[in-house]
Structure 1
Amino acid sequence: MDTANSSAANPLREWALYAAGMGWHVFPLRPGTKIPTGHAEARCPGTGRCADGHQTPEKRATTDTAVIGDAWDRAPFNIGIATGPSGLVVIDCDMPKDGEDGPTGANRLEWLAGECGGPLPDTYTVTTPSGGIHRYYLAPPGSRLPSTKGKVCRLVDTRAWGGYVVGPGSVTEQGAYDLTDDRDPVELPGWLVQAIAESPSPAISAPVQIRSVAPSTYGSVALANECGRVRAAQPEQHNAVLSSAAYTIGRKVGAGLIDHATARADLITAAAHMVTASCDCTDREIARVVDAGLAAGARNPVAHRKDAA
């Protein structure tokens, strides 16, 4: 096959080879989608390449230019980058969902960086068709950080071991994945390493240690996160989500990190969508749940690190 003509007809081939040249392990995604080629593990026949066990996209990913060139000569596949084998941690900052107000994932990550006292250095960056951002960082040497969903903060996921990202140059019906900063990825900041690696507290009553920061900074992020969760609650989860959010914020109100009146007003406003003809929620019931959750949380406040000596 004429390589020059192949490249002109299928620029995705060049993007795949470019990613491999960066040392990143790639695999094909179905043309125009974010879905890996091949079969799902649940439908694995246990034959062929899977004779010794199901070959996940992460296992199939490669930097072999001959293999990549041959694969992309067959079809205009989008590019999947297996982050773990590539030594990457990609921070995936999403946009609010349809009809949802509030900060973007990128906004929340910037605020969290300020709250943690750590930098958010410029790095290799790709924008997604929805307006989201993929920030590529180098994983710490010898680490094996997991992929996470919403663990760092709301609307922020991480792609590391066990995950992948859609690489630059890929195109879906919604648009393209555009490379907007081509500097080499820098090392993942330490505070983000900690946020990704930390295990959740085994008991809700255990004291959560919060860095000593300005209440307005930490409180605004926490309150925005919980209000976003309330806005996204489905009808069958209204009471449970609102009660949980109010309790979580109540713990911070009790610690003096958030003003009670502000917390109450914002939570009630976020829950306004719950009052519909298809749900039993009422304004009075919403206020009752919020007040009860805030009061219960305030009786079990989070602890400041400066106070835990």
Structure 2
Amino acid sequence: MTTTRTGVLAAEVADAAMACAARGWHVFPLQPRDKRPLSQFTDWEAHATTDPARIRAFWERGPAFNVAVACGPSGLIVVDLDTPKPGETPPPEWALPGVNEGADVLAVLCERHGEAFPTDTFTVTTRRRGGMHLYFTPPPGNELRNTSGRYRTGLGWLIDTRACGGYVVAPGSYVDLPDGAGPYRIVNDVPPAPLPAWLARLLTAPHQVPSLGANSDAGTVADLPAYVQAALKGEAARVADAVTGGRNHALNKAAYNLGRLTGAGALDHETAAAVLFEAAVVHFGPTRADVTPAEARATIRSALAAGARNPRTITRGNPA
């Protein structure tokens, strides 16, 4: 049986995957010591499984693939309380005394809303000291999506949420990346509690399409037809919600789809590019798992052009 430098055995992560499946959580493999899916698992949400035979067959062949939990199929929403990367400082609205990491931001939110810190739920510590995953079940009939603390639709600095369309690294995994290394360990082994109603309200509040920069001459989103506004909102959400391993694919697909509208004359290129770039800002960062502004601009430019070469056919009776 294979082992990593940290002594994590393939059999151990296989057991971790089985333990998640026994809870009814759908799992799939990540690269060893990493947070990214394997190349053959690009459609990971569809391939995630609770089948013990499939799990054993995959993980027991080694190496020690990390384990991911697909939140949507598992009926989970996970609040990810992160810690700052080296040199990272809080934005002005969170530059408060005692606010140093995601758990502090959540504590402030609790205080502002007159609520207790949600400790009585399944909890995992993450690779960087102070990081935590709080597992919850979502509100019935409400399909929540991912949010990022670096985006205005998120809960706050260093707080991400993972739900439909997202995944988290499962307990029993070990991640070793330039911005931090360590295990994911269960510290409160209780069933996930229902997502507190006040957090659900914050996560379901109406969100606006990313606005254009003040110097843009492309007009405003509000000036566009309703079906174009809906397309912009949907594709911006696709980009902002994308997870590690699928970010460039999501941006490429969103830009291609909007490019088809620009090719049809329903949307101007500048508006599409501006909205996509602002949505991609949540993924900008210094590590290989992040996206750079130059990469985002290049993807947007090429995919918009490709989409424009295959314009949508839009009729008055069926504008969508």
Compute the TM-score of the two structures, normalised by the length of structure 1: 0.56
Distance (whole Å) between structure 1 residues aligned to residue 160 and residue 9 of structure 2: 35
Q: CA deviation at 1:117?
A: 2.2
Match of 1:96 among 66, 69, 84: 84
- Tell me what 1:130 maps to: 128
Secondary structure of the residue that 2:79 maps to in structure 1?
A: strand
The structure-2 alpha-carbon separation of the partners of 1:10 and 1:111, relative to structure 1 and needing over 3 Å to count, comes to same
Match of 1:107 among 104, 109, 116: 104
8 Å CA contact 1:146, 1:197 repeated in 2: no
- Tell me what 1:18 maps to: 19
Q: CA deviation at 1:176?
A: 0.6
8 Å CA contact 1:95, 1:130 repeated in 2: yes
- Tell me what 1:149 maps to: 148
2:36 maps to 1:35: yes
Distance (whole Å) between structure 1 residues aligned to residue 87 and residue 15 of structure 2: 38
Q: Which residue identity lines up with residue 132 of structure 2 in the other structure?
A: I
Match of 2:61 among 65, 74, 81: 74
**Offset from partner CA, 1:13-47 (integer Å, 9 cap, x none):** 10000000011000011111111112476xxxxxx
Q: CA deviation at 1:183?
A: 1.2
- Percent identical residues: 43
Q: CA deviation at 1:73?
A: 1.1
**Offset from partner CA, 1:102-134 (integer Å, 9 cap, x none):** 521001001101211233322111111112110
Distance (whole Å) between structure 1 residues aligned to residue 88 and residue 161 of structure 2: 22
Distance (whole Å) between structure 2 residues aligned to residue 128 and residue 8 of structure 1: 19
Secondary structure of the residue that 1:69 maps to in structure 2?
A: helix
Match of 1:196 among 175, 200, 203: 203
8 Å CA contact 2:10, 2:65 repeated in 1: no
Distance (whole Å) between structure 2 residues aligned to residue 157 and residue 87 of structure 1: 17
Q: CA deviation at 1:141?
A: 2.0
Match of 2:45 among 35, 58, 68: 58
Task: Map 1:183-262 to 2 at 5 A.
Answer: 183-201=190-208
Secondary structure of the residue that 1:120 maps to in structure 2?
A: coil
Distance (whole Å) between structure 2 residues aligned to residue 64 and residue 10 of structure 1: 17
Equivalences, count:
185
The structure-2 alpha-carbon separation of the partners of 1:59 and 1:188, relative to structure 1 and needing over 3 Å to count, comes to same
Secondary structure of the residue that 1:183 maps to in structure 2?
A: coil
8 Å CA contact 1:94, 1:106 repeated in 2: yes
**4+ long deviations beyond 4 Å:** 201-204
Q: Which residue identity lines up with residue 190 of structure 1 in the other structure?
A: A
Q: CA deviation at 1:146?
A: 0.3
Q: Which residue identity lines up with residue 160 of structure 2 in the other structure?
A: D
Secondary structure of the residue that 1:10 maps to in structure 2?
A: helix
Of stretches 71-80 and 11-20 in structure 1, the one that deviates more from structure 2 is 71-80
Distance (whole Å) between structure 2 residues aligned to residue 96 and residue 136 of structure 1: 21
Q: CA deviation at 1:100?
A: 3.4
Compute the TM-score of the two structures, normalised by the length of structure 2: 0.54
Give the CA RMSD over aligned residues.
Answer: 2.2
- Tell me what 2:214 maps to: none
8 Å CA contact 1:118, 1:189 repeated in 2: no
Q: Which residue identity lines up with residue 125 of structure 2 in the other structure?
A: T
8 Å CA contact 1:120, 1:189 repeated in 2: no
Secondary structure of the residue that 2:100 maps to in structure 1?
A: coil
Distance (whole Å) between structure 2 residues aligned to residue 39 and residue 71 of structure 1: 13
**Offset from partner CA, 1:82-101 (integer Å, 9 cap, x none):** 01111111000111221235
Secondary structure of the residue that 2:80 maps to in structure 1?
A: strand
Q: CA deviation at 1:170?
A: 0.1
Q: CA deviation at 1:142?
A: 2.2
The structure-2 alpha-carbon separation of the partners of 1:202 and 1:32, relative to structure 1 and needing over 3 Å to count, comes to closer
Q: Which residue identity lines up with residue 164 of structure 2 in the other structure?
A: W
Secondary structure of the residue that 2:74 maps to in structure 1?
A: coil
Distance (whole Å) between structure 1 residues aligned to residue 200 and residue 160 of structure 2: 13
Which protein shows a greater Rg? 1
